[in-house]
Amino acid sequence: MSLEFPKSLIPENEAARIRTLHHYRIVNTTAEPVFDDYVAWSAQLFNTPISLISLVDDDYVHFKALTGAEGVPGLVRGDSMCSAAILLDAPVVTGDYSAQSCNLISTNVAQSLGLNFYAGSALRMPDGSRIGMLAVIGREARGLSPVETSMLSELAGLVSRTIELRLAYLDSQKPDTWEAAQQELAENLDENAALARYITSRNGRIDLDDDEVLALVQRRLKSVTKVLDRRIAEVAVG
């Protein structure tokens, strides 16, 4: 079934959305380990070869982190499904990279790479702006269950809060504290990756609709959330 996208790739709140995006001073910045860890974990959880964190600028979609297709800095806005996905106020899932599934973008790049599956949840900031996406991408057409869709949204929320924490530390003019926060988050995400590898080796794949597997993953999500909660509270009080 086709997704109901708006008629234009440019939303009505575009000027405010772009201001919010650049407020976070993360566009076109160098790789940072914590964001690389988020996409690595996402690819594992959703059994996809590719995962990315995108930032949708006025004419270009920057990939802040990317696994499975290294060396690609981003795409022009008209070639990226992320630029269309931020238009919808819900996770976007499509197993059909074609003009019929989304006529707002060119699907040539995706089709040339043999991609047939995209699932993304927006990076939503406190003012409501959707500045980019956390997406998982694959070559086999498929869908996401309600549980998987909810998990993707939870992960996107963690990425969004990490972007907020990053800015708070940059504004505090204490770059070492951001490095320390990244290290702590990375340690938790490394444990998550180890769990994902264990589940994959035991079961052949990760099935988030398996209650036992879901409980294990949610426990790890809570550990990352606790680090973010504490770090955000600490930087808020200086």
pTM of the model: 0.94
**Residue 59 to residue 22: CA distance in whole angstroms:** 13
DSSP string, 174-204: -HHHHHHHHHHHHHHHHHHHHHHHHHHHHHS
Residues 147 and 214 sit within 8 Å (Cβ to Cβ): yes
How crowded is residue 187: how many other Cβ atoms within 10 Å of its Cβ? 13
- Vertex 85: Cα angle to 69 and 118 (nearest 5): 45
- Local confidence pLDDT in tens for the 238 residues of the chain: 457 888 899 999 999 999 999 999 999 999 999 999 999 999 999 999 999 999 999 999 999 999 998 888 999 999 999 999 999 999 999 887 765 567 778 878 888 888 889 999 999 999 999 999 999 999 998 999 999 999 999 999 999 999 999 999 999 887 789 999 999 998 888 888 888 888 988 888 999 999 999 999 999 899 999 999 999 999 888 6
* pLDDT given at position 197: 87
> What are the structural domains, with CATH classification, of the chain?
14-236 (3.30.450.40)
Residues 197 and 233 sit within 8 Å (Cβ to Cβ): no
* pLDDT given at position 1: 47
Burial class (CB in 10 A: 0-12, 13-18, 19+), 104: middle
Rg (CA), the chain: 17
